[in-house]
Amino acid sequence: MARIAEDLLLLLLDNASAQPGLERGRLQRLLAAAVLLDLAYDCRVRPALPQEPVPPDRLVALAGPPPLDPVVRPALDLLQRAPITASAAIAKLRKHTEDQVLDQLLRTGQLHQIALSAHRFRRNSYAWPLAGRGRVDQARAALLSALFDGHRPDPVTAAIVSLLHATDGLGTLLSLNDRGWQWVMGRASEIASGTWVDDEKMADVNLAVTTAAVRAALA
């Protein structure tokens, strides 16, 4: 399940317009990066190790069963062809990842789709109202708890905070005064540094080191 990418998009759609508050180019890169982190949390991709015959800035696919989730499958297929930098992977995946995540959320009944325009020769515009608030309320509560209450975030929340922090996207979800932003940016930077990681959990460690590589590609 592309939990990071799906929760991230649900959070970005949770507004009056039922449309992401980020401009489309930034949204596409953000979701492509999130799918890479979903693979990392599933221990299917990691940065190259120093002793490997691969340039150190490459992402390497790891062995495992074929993923069932159609959102992550194209990203894994790309990485299995050859090691690739995070920036190159994001550039190749960005065009279709948004539609793939939206399609999956629609298939699983978590969104509705409302056409706002109909054009023959250019992309139509849509709104995607939430079918229910349970999942997005849980994701938002986890994010707010991590940012404002100092609670240790779960891995999915930590990845979302890290990606939004890297792309200046937290303002899409939060409205704060200057003092509030100083606090949030400091806390988000702390989370992005990996302080949340349980060193005894391989998935946590792999997600954190891959997040560092992906964040550098988004900067």
Q: pLDDT tens digits, residue range 24-75?
A: 999 999 999 999 999 999 999 999 998 899 998 999 999 998 888 999 999 9
In this prediction, residue 151 carries a pLDDT of 95
Mean pLDDT confidence for 93-113? 97
Separation CA 106–CA 109 (nearest Å): 5
**C-alpha gyration radius of the chain:** 17
Q: Are 190 and 161 in contact (CB under 8 A)?
A: no
Q: Is 106 exposed, middle or buried (0-12, 13-18, 19+ CB in 10 A)?
A: middle
3-state SS class at 59: strand
Mean pLDDT confidence for 164-186? 95
In this prediction, residue 42 carries a pLDDT of 96
In this prediction, residue 67 carries a pLDDT of 84
Which distant-in-sequence residues (6+ apart) come within 8 Å of 198 by Cβ?
A: 204
Q: What average pLDDT does the structure give for the chain?
A: 95
In this prediction, residue 124 carries a pLDDT of 74
In this prediction, residue 106 carries a pLDDT of 97
* Model confidence at 85: pLDDT above 90: yes
Q: Is 131 exposed, middle or buried (0-12, 13-18, 19+ CB in 10 A)?
A: middle
What separation in angstroms does the CA of 163 have from each of 84, 113, 132, 217?
20, 26, 25, 11
In this prediction, residue 117 carries a pLDDT of 77
In this prediction, residue 123 carries a pLDDT of 73
3-state SS class at 58: strand
Q: What tokens does 163 get? A: 């990606």
Separation CA 28–CA 163 (nearest Å): 12
* Model confidence at 8: pLDDT above 80: yes
**Confidence class for position 122, pLDDT limits 50, 70, 90:** low
Quick: pLDDT tens for 181-195: 999 999 999 999 999
In this prediction, residue 169 carries a pLDDT of 95
In this prediction, residue 46 carries a pLDDT of 97
Q: Are 54 and 83 in contact (CB under 8 A)?
A: yes
Alpha helices in 52-177 (DSSP H): 73-81, 86-107, 134-148, 155-166
In this prediction, residue 120 carries a pLDDT of 67
In this prediction, residue 56 carries a pLDDT of 86
pTM of the model: 0.95
Q: To the nearest 10°, the Cα dihedral for 98, 59, 158, 167?
A: -60
